Amino acid sequence: MKSILNQLIQLQELNFAKEEQKASNSQMPLAQLEKSIAKIRSQLPPDVADRYDRLQKRYPLAVIPLAHGNCSRCGLAVPANVVNAAKAGEQLQYCPHCGRFLFFPDTIARTPKKKFDGNRPVEVGIARFSAANLMVPKLAATTREEVISELAKALGEGGFVEDAATVTELALRREAIVSTAVEHGLAFPHVRDVEGGGLTFAVGLKEKGIEFGATGDHLSKIFFFIVIPTPATAFYLRLLAGLVRTFESTEARKALLDCEKPDEMWKTLAKLTKDTIP
Ligand SMILES: [Zn+2]
């Protein structure tokens, strides 16, 4: 059963990656993604695959973690026997209310409820999601793993996630399914289904570029590491679209990559995204 569940989760990640590519207006070929999707789908028992397809038509995400005994999507309480069976991993479990597949997450990333200082004025634009201390103008990292771990550490030290190691592990699991690198040297490593506060991201720069899994062996230079609470999933796609729209421009990429200090980088990012992320 575990393997069917893992296949379902992979299938969902691949389908969601397709949504991400659409949101990022990517010109990258979807053929490889479609091929992987078809392959995993063909390995599932037919009734499970059919159910998945039906759910997918209604909901962007159909395989959902339990959170404190509730379905983390519809939010309703799930009977204890379903929770226990999901925990034991004996057979596939469904939410009795919305019908989505349920699983018991082995690892959960959490963000504190209150993420920014109390006295800040009401924020607009990217100030709702990030801060100067989450800007890393000169990443020390030289590999994909190190980029993710370095940005997770910034989130952890800033008090934006409870445990940087957990966030790193979950982001790497996601990268292993399909890379989050897109065109223009951009990459969007992320962790979904985070519990707690709001959507938050850290940004790292590596002028020289890093092999992050982009097609055609292109190097990635600008990394947005995003932690996404379950209710913010749809918004995350809009944020992604806004960031890509901003940094499609060569001048915008250059302006950001030229930054030497976190404060300077933060001001530059705010200015560049003023219209794309209102
Ligand atoms: Zn539900």
d(CA 277, CA 125): 5
Position 233 confidence tier, pLDDT thresholds 50, 70, 90 = confident
Percent of the chain with pLDDT over 70: 95
Residue 184 has pLDDT above 60, yes or no: yes
CA of 136 to the centre of ligand 1 (A): 38
CA of 40 to the centre of ligand 1 (A): 24
- 110-272, which class in CATH? alpha beta
Q: What is the mean pLDDT of the chain?
A: 90
Pick among 3.40.50.2000, 3.30.70.100, 1.10.287.3510, 1.10.287.1490: CATH of 2-103? 1.10.287.1490
CA of 10 to the centre of ligand 1 (A): 20
Question: What pTM does this model have?
Answer: 0.90
pLDDT of residue 42: 94
CA of 69 to the centre of ligand 1 (A): 11
Q: Which residue has the higher pLDDT, 232 or 113?
A: 232
CB 243 within 8 A of CB 185: no
Ranked by mean pLDDT, which of 20-24, 163-167, 197-201 comes out on top? 163-167
93-129 pLDDT tens trace: 999 999 999 999 888 888 876 555 545 556 788 998 9
Angle at 25 between CA 21 and CA 31, to 5 degrees: 45
Residue 18 has pLDDT above 90, yes or no: no
Percent of the chain with pLDDT over 90: 67
CA of 72 to the centre of ligand 1 (A): 7
d(CA 25, CA 140): 30
Where exactly are the structural domains of the chain? 2-103, 110-272
CB 124 within 8 A of CB 270: no
Residue 2 has pLDDT above 70, yes or no: no
pLDDT of residue 139: 98
CA of 52 to the centre of ligand 1 (A): 14
136-167 pLDDT tens trace: 999 999 999 999 999 999 999 999 999 999 99
CB 204 within 8 A of CB 147: yes
242-266 pLDDT tens trace: 999 999 999 999 999 999 999 999 9
Q: Which residue has the higher pLDDT, 20 or 219?
A: 219
CA of 51 to the centre of ligand 1 (A): 15
d(CA 34, CA 14): 8
Query: Mean pLDDT throughout 64-82?
Result: 92
